[in-house]
Amino acid sequence: MKEQALAGMRVLDLTHYIAGPYCTKMLSDYGAEVVKIEKPGLGDAARSLGPFLNDEPHPEKSGLFLYLNTSKKSITLNLKSATGVSIIKKLVKQADILVENFSPRVMPSLGLDYKTLKKINPGLVMTSISNFGQTGPYRDFRATDLNIWGLSGILYECGEPNREPLKMGNNVSEYVAGLYAALTTLSALYYRDEGGVGQHIDVSIWEAFHTMQPSMTLVYSYAGFIRKRAGVRFPWGILPCKDGYVGFFFPTQVHWESLCALMEMPELREKPEYETPMMREERREEVTAIIVSWLKDKRMDDVFHAAQELRLPLTTVPNPEQLLDTPQHKERKYFVDIDHPETGKLTYPGAPFRLSETPWQAGRAPLLGEHNREFYCKRLGYSKDDFVKLKEEGVI
Q: What is the mean pLDDT of residues 45-62?
A: 95
Q: Does pLDDT of 199 surpass 60?
A: yes
pLDDT of residue 189: 97
Q: Which CATH number fits domain 237-319: 1.10.20.10, 3.50.50.60, 3.40.50.1820, 3.30.1540.10?
A: 3.30.1540.10
User: Which residues neighbour 304 within 8 Å (Cβ) at sequence distance 6 or greater?
Assistant: 246, 314, 315, 316
Q: Among candidates 69, 353, 315, which has minimal Cα distance to 186?
A: 353
Q: How confident is the model at residue 221 (pLDDT cuts 50, 70, 90)?
A: confident
CATH number of 10-214+333-392: 3.40.50.10540
Q: Does pLDDT of 215 surpass 80?
A: no
Q: How confident is the model at residue 1 (pLDDT cuts 50, 70, 90)?
A: low
Q: Does pLDDT of 234 surpass 60?
A: no
Peptide bond into 51 cis (omega under 30): yes
Q: How confident is the model at residue 157 (pLDDT cuts 50, 70, 90)?
A: confident
Helix (H) or strand (E) holding 38: strand 33-38
CB contact at 8 A, 97 and 14: no
> What mean pLDDT value characterizes the chain?
93
**Coil/strand/helix, residue 257:** helix
> Would the CATH topology of 10-214+333-392 be identical to that of 237-319?
no
Tell me the helix, strand and coil percentages in the chain, rounded to 5: 40, 15, 45
Q: What is the mean pLDDT of residues 254-274?
A: 94
Q: How confident is the model at residue 341 (pLDDT cuts 50, 70, 90)?
A: very high
- Please state the domain extents for the chain: 10-214+333-392, 237-319
pLDDT in tens, 354-367: 999 999 999 999 99
pLDDT in tens, 68-108: 999 999 999 999 999 999 999 999 999 999 999 999 999 99
